[in-house]
Amino acid sequence: MKNIVVIGVAGGSASGKTTVVNRLKEICEDRVELISHDYYYKPFTELSPLERTKINYDHPDAFDTELLIEDIKKLKKAIPIDRPVYSYIENTRLAETVRVNPAKVIIIDGFMIFENKELRDLMDIKVFVDTDADERLIRRIIRDVNERGRSLESVIAQYTNTVKPMHELYVEPYKNYADIIIPRGGLNDIAVDMLAHRIEAISKEG
């Protein structure tokens, strides 16, 4: 497989990144493989469960980005990888892994993927999903309470103490690196269709 293309999809927490990449996967099917930065949270197995709840998961140090970079380099060489599986309930990695096979297009999503230059330089196309902060907060509350077993109070505290300040430091400033900015996230049908057509064109090259 020649000329594997990597597309990075960044944006604030709960901006709609996952909706965008899932819609692209649905449209483009086996022409793309998806990799999330969230899979690569460090396991912090040396810490107790209580101590792991106190980690700032919105800081670059919470991620094993070096492993993600290694895996993307392998995929670009058409080498399969076994990516980690992360549990938001236990705040650590599980023992299992998931096999990811190379595809013509690899899509990486994550709120902080533009912050790391080495990772950023592996991307051929950089997309930023831009969504209003209030809407992102509402989405995050709904997601974390319903899907991750969090209390409303803990979600709001985390947003205030780490999510918002880290967004201002490590997410928003890196929007300038984007080749494409998508307002309104996964609700922007025109932008998603344009990206899907670009992926279809890439898949026919080489």
Which of these ranges, 1-5, 43-47, 88-92, has the smallest mean pLDDT?
A: 1-5
User: How far are the Cα atoms of 93, 118, 181, 189 from residue 130, in angstroms, in the given order?
Assistant: 29, 23, 7, 14
Residue 186 has pLDDT above 90, yes or no: no
**Ordered domains of the chain (ranges, CATH):** 5-201 (3.40.50.300)
pTM, full prediction: 0.90
C-alpha 81/C-alpha 159 separation (Å) is 33
State the virtual CA torsion across 93, 97, 98, 102 in degrees, nearest 10.
100
- E strands, 18-61, are 32-36
Q: How far is the C-alpha of 3 from the C-alpha of 5, rounded, in Å?
A: 6
Check residue 195 and give its pLDDT: 92
Q: For residues 91 and 42, give the distance between their C-alpha atoms in angstroms, rounded to a whole number.
A: 9
Task: Give the closest residue to 13 by CA, choosing from 162, 146, 179.
Answer: 162
Q: Which of 113-117, 160-164, 196-200 is the most confident on average?
A: 113-117
The confidence score (pLDDT) of residue 85 equals 97
